[in-house]
Each structure stands twice: as C-alpha cells, then as structure tokens.
A and B are shown apart, each in its own frame.
Chain A
C-alpha cells in the first residue's frame, strides 16, 4: 500500500555470498517468492536469498528492472528478453535457470530454458554430459544400441568447442 503515498518502496535483497542489492518493490515482485514474502510482511529488513549468488542476482535484478520498465506489450518484452540473454554464456544461463526457479519467475524461467535448449540443440552427447555433470551409466554396448535406434539424429552434430 506504500505505493499510494507516492514514494516507491525499495527492497534490499541479500545474496548467499552476502552482497546487498536495492531494488524497487514493483520490479522485485516479478518473483513470486519475493512477492509472497512482501505480502506476508517478512520484507521489512533485508530479504535473504540463500540459493542465489551475487553475480547471478545482479543479473536477475538488471532483468527485473528492464522488463518492468516496459509497458504491457508482449512483443517488446520478448525482444528485451532475447537481447538480455543474447550475450550470456552457458554457465551464466545455467545459474540463471536455477535462480529463476528458486525465485519463481516463470517468464524468465521459460526464456532461459528456451535459450539453453537453443545452445545445446546441436551439441554432442559428450558436451552435454560435461556441461551438466552427468555420469554415463551405459555400458559401451548399451550406448551403441541406443545410438543405433536413431542413428540419423547424430548427423549435423557440432564439434565440441569447450576444451
């Protein structure tokens, strides 16, 4: 209700590595997690976000400010999201998808998931295992058999560029 007085309310968010950030309440409540805290009256002091580090939180806040400054125009919001994500590397995107999930921000979640999917689309199986830290639990014979089922899907795989 503070908005009615004319002074925009500012919230202070704290990352898990103890960095503090000021952000307008109207932008921060894009996160359902933060909105619930505000509505429950738990946002008086500093809001601790235990699952997000400072670097990622700074990025998320840039997004919050940018997207909330755009009036209700889906086309413009979409092009802002595309531009915002265009220069992020895989590691940053991976951190952001976890943050978006924790903060419960569905629009960012959708956009980052789609962006990661776009990055990994043509990558090799080995690249995916390394980047996501997945252990190969197939025996060589089993893996060959699964591969053989859809051999044509291995055409056009990019050469790995991560090592």
Chain B
C-alpha cells in the first residue's frame, strides 16, 4: 500500500489523511515524508512533481508557477497559474531567493523572511535577523543534513547606535528558531545576491585581486559544519569578467559571458571533482540564431545580447533557459533552441526557481 501512496501528489495525500487513523499517521510520519521527497526529486520520467516558480511583472507583485512536465511535454499551450503567497496585501513585493526539498525561502518587501511550502500551503515567518536592519544584501537557503535542519544565511547591514552601519553575516536555524553571527565568511568579495545550494553547501563566486586583474573562484559554506571552503572553477574563468553561478538539476553550474563574443555554460558533474567540469553550452556571436526565434529579427534586444541563464534540466538533458525575460528549451542533441508552448509566463524578472512537491514540514 505504501508503494502506491508514495506516488501520489501532495494534495491527494493531505486529503487521504481522512481515510483512517493509520493512513493519517503513515502519511504524517517522518519516514514517509522522506521517502516521498526522494521519489519527487528523482521524478525524471515525467517531471510532474517538479514546478518552477517566479515573480512576474508588475515587479515583484505576482507569483506564478507551472510544472516542468508541462513545459517539456506540453502539447497544446500551458497556462501558468498564480500562486497565492499566504500572507501579503496587494502592495507587498515578494521575491523567491532559494528552494530546497520543496521548501521555498521568500522575502517580503525585501525585509521579512518566510519559509514556505507551496504544496502544503504551510509557512513560517522568521524572526528578524537584526533589530536595526538597513538592508539585507545576500541570501542563502539550504538543508543541513547532519542536524536535519533548514538554515538561512544572510549578509545584513544594520544601523549602529552611534551612527553609521555595520555589515555582518548571520545564519538562522529552523530547529532553534534563532540567528547567530558567522565570523569566518568574508562577505565583501562575494558576487551574486543569492547563494546556490548544492551538496550541503552554499556557494558564491568570489573575487580576489584588484579590479583590473581580478581572479575568480567559488567560495563554499558548509551548512552542517559552518566551515568555508572553495571550489575551483574551470581554467576558462581564471581572470576576466565575472562568472555567475546557477544550479542545474543537482549540479553547480557556472556561466561566462564575454560581451559580443560568446556565452558559455559549464556544469560540475561530480561535486568535489575538478576534472568533472564540462562545458554543456556555448553560444557564439551568431546570437541571432536564438534571438530571432525569441524576439523576431528586428528586435533591439538582438543587439544587446541579453543574458542567458539556465535554471532547469529536463528529459534527454534538455535545458531550460531564460534569455532576457523569455524562456527557451535547449536541446543538446541537435544544438537547437525552441520556446516552450506556454501562455502568460512572459515578463519574468528573475530566473525562476525549481522546486519539487513535498510534504516536508516547517518545524
């Protein structure tokens, strides 16, 4: 029986808690929740349990989602649906900054942090990271497997009592429901506003050296041990313009952009193995090939060559990308791009986050 229940979507499982007391306790058990999550994450046959979620114009006001399966397999046109973030009035802005095990870390009005499970509609507001917040400039969200704890990391600038402000790194633990200061992570050379969570660690691109001869690598922060480390980039990124990080499937991936020359995407196929960096996509100046598909030949954007950001991986290694504010599917087998048949998902401001359906509780 359990084999069957593990394959049900979250909505059905919550409904079937009413079947009997033993079903209810099975579905609510930690063991079942974990096994169900494992199947959701590994759902690489049809991707029905995985969704993308993003904010749309007007800026930061509307959250929409749709399933990965509808993007890759949708035969007709797919409609993205509005998702109601449970607590907000229409003037609030909402932004997704991270996703892990079906939980989403959401920022309301650039200040209040919420953990939210869109599949169960449960959420929790985090206590403030500081009493006198000026601005939170960086976020990271992930799971600490050793302590079975969800953690949020922020770089926060706070007003000081005597005037001026100081910037600190703080980490929140869901288990203790409290913040503490992290001394070891040097925040002033981190690039990118959100840390990327892969293999139990958060990652940022880090710059060393002066402006004109900057060198790049990746700094990692282990959410379990709370120790910093580093990940070497492919040689391609030694110097030059700033690379940026994304997560593709469960792998770290890095994008390079040499204006007017090329854009490349590399993936770290096996975490911790520098040799496993593989270039999966390279778009040279014949950019028109893509942009003429997405914008029409006369578009101005064609000349600007908008940034290309991969954010999801589908069947047969197909890659979901954002180009400018549009979605594209790249098929590595024939090196072609096509737009997914989807309605009303245009105008996304930031690359969407992929999350899988889960019963994971925010406690």
Contact = CB atoms under 8 A, between A and B. Distances in A.
Contacts of B15: 125, 150, 153-154, 157
A103 to B, nearest CB: 14
Given A129-B20, A152-B121, A116 B11 contact: no
A117 B20 contact: no
Contacts of A137: 20-22
B119 to A, nearest CB: 10
B45 A97 contact: no
Contacts of A113: 3-4, 6-7
Nearest to B7: A117
Which of B9, B18, B21, B22 counts the most chain A CB atoms within 10 A?
B18
B273 interface: no
A137 B11 CA distance: 22
B12 interface: yes
Nearest to B316: A75
A121 B20 contact: no
Of the candidates A109, A110, A136, A146, the one having the most CB atoms from chain B within 10 angstroms of its own CB is A146
B228 interface: no
A113 to B, nearest CB: 4
Contacts of A120: 4, 8, 12
Nearest to A116: B4
Nearest to B315: A75
A146 B3 contact: no
Q: Chain A contact residues: over half helix, strand or loop, or mixed? A: helix
Nearest to A101: B3
- Size bracket of the B interface: 20 to 34
A140 to B, nearest CB: 11
Interface in A112-145: 113-114, 116-117, 120-122, 125, 128-129, 132, 134-138, 143
A85 to B, nearest CB: 13
Interface in B37-57: 45
A130 B321 CA distance: 46
A134 B19 contact: yes
Interface in B113-158: 120-121
A157 B15 CA distance: 10
A135 B22 CA distance: 10
B20 A135 contact: yes
Contact of B8 (A117, A129, A134): A117
Contacts of B11: 153
B45 A78 contact: yes
A136 B21 CA distance: 8
Contacts of A78: 45
A154 B14 CA distance: 9
Given A129-B20, A153-B12, 5 more contacts: A97-B3, A110-B3, A113-B4, A117-B7, A149-B17
28 contacts: A97-B4, A101-B3, A109-B3, A113-B6, A113-B7, A114-B7, A116-B4, A117-B7, A117-B12, A120-B4, A120-B8, A120-B12, A121-B9, A122-B12, A125-B15, A125-B19, A132-B1, A134-B19, A135-B20, A137-B21, A146-B17, A146-B18, A147-B18, A149-B14, A150-B17, A153-B11, A153-B12, A154-B15
